[in-house]
Amino acid sequence: MGIAERKEREKLQRRADIVDAAERIFFSRGFESSTMDEVAAEAELSKGTLYLYFKSRADLQFAIFMRGSDILMKMMGEEISSENDGYTNLITLAGAFIKFSRNYPDYFNLFMQFEGMRMGELNIDQKQIQVYLKEQSPLALVSEQVNQGMRDGSLRGDLSSEVFSATLWSQMLGVLMILNNKADLYEIFDLKADEILQTHLELVSRGGLGANYKT
């Protein structure tokens, strides 16, 4: 390995170490209560060195968000099957998202925080966000399966695929947010989260079923 390759590997490792440190600080103290000084101390770096890698807390938050998004994307990707129609794959994608919210609550909470922010509020490269949303995000996977469902007839083809995808995604985020934040409320009425989620999926998805879908 040459000097340039070794330096690049060391740079990537240091960046990963910084993100590790930021996760420990942000997840234990909360993003708003954390500082770059604390992250630098946790990573055993000077603040100046930290800023060589990340220009702001928002940059670090986005890096952590991307880690969680990569995990979710992998979980969702493993559920997609070429043997299924688009509708069936959408149901399995929703199941993967539910599993992610339970297995990785810190990443999920950060995910929900990011989804609730205006793009202009994020002090990071807007082009980077746009590329992520269109090509690398869970929403992009949902959009792929919506388009697949419209092609194979398992979903209605008379709707805008973009609007269809955004609606499904937004509604799923809303239901998961409420179930995670108001779990004790549902327990009072002896309602189970799984039953609510399944009913939600059936109600939403059946309104978009195509002529070729067989019940």
CATH of the domain at 12: 1.10.10.60
Among residues 54, 75, 95, the one where a domain terminates is 54
Domain hosting 198: range is: 64-206
Using left for φ > 0, alpha for ψ between -120 and 50, and beta otherwise, residue 30 falls in left
Indicate whether 10 and 30 sit together in one domain. Answer: yes
100: in domain: yes
pLDDT for res 14: 94
How distant, in Å, are the alpha carbons of 43, 85, 133, 136 from that of 128?
25, 31, 9, 10
pLDDT for res 77: 92
Indicate whether 26 and 69 sit together in one domain. Answer: no
Indicate whether 184 and 130 sit together in one domain. Answer: yes
Beta-carbon count within 10 A of 91 CB: 15
211: in domain: no
User: Tens digit of pLDDT per residue, the chain (215 long)?
Assistant: 688 788 889 899 999 999 999 999 999 998 889 999 999 999 999 999 999 999 888 889 889 988 999 999 999 999 999 899 988 898 888 888 888 988 999 999 888 877 666 655 555 666 766 666 666 788 888 899 999 998 998 888 888 888 888 888 888 888 777 777 666 666 777 777 667 766 776 676 666 555 565 55
Indicate whether 95 and 199 sit together in one domain. Answer: yes
Indicate whether 148 and 123 sit together in one domain. Answer: yes
Beta-carbon count within 10 A of 10 CB: 10
Indicate whether 50 and 117 sit together in one domain. Answer: no
Indicate whether 196 and 103 sit together in one domain. Answer: yes
Among residues 17, 36, 54, the one where a domain terminates is 54
| Number of domains forming the structure of the chain | 2
Indicate whether 44 and 69 sit together in one domain. Answer: no
Residues paired with residue 155 on neighbouring β-strands, in sequence order: 209
Q: What is the pTM of this model?
A: 0.79
Indicate whether 44 and 86 sit together in one domain. Answer: no
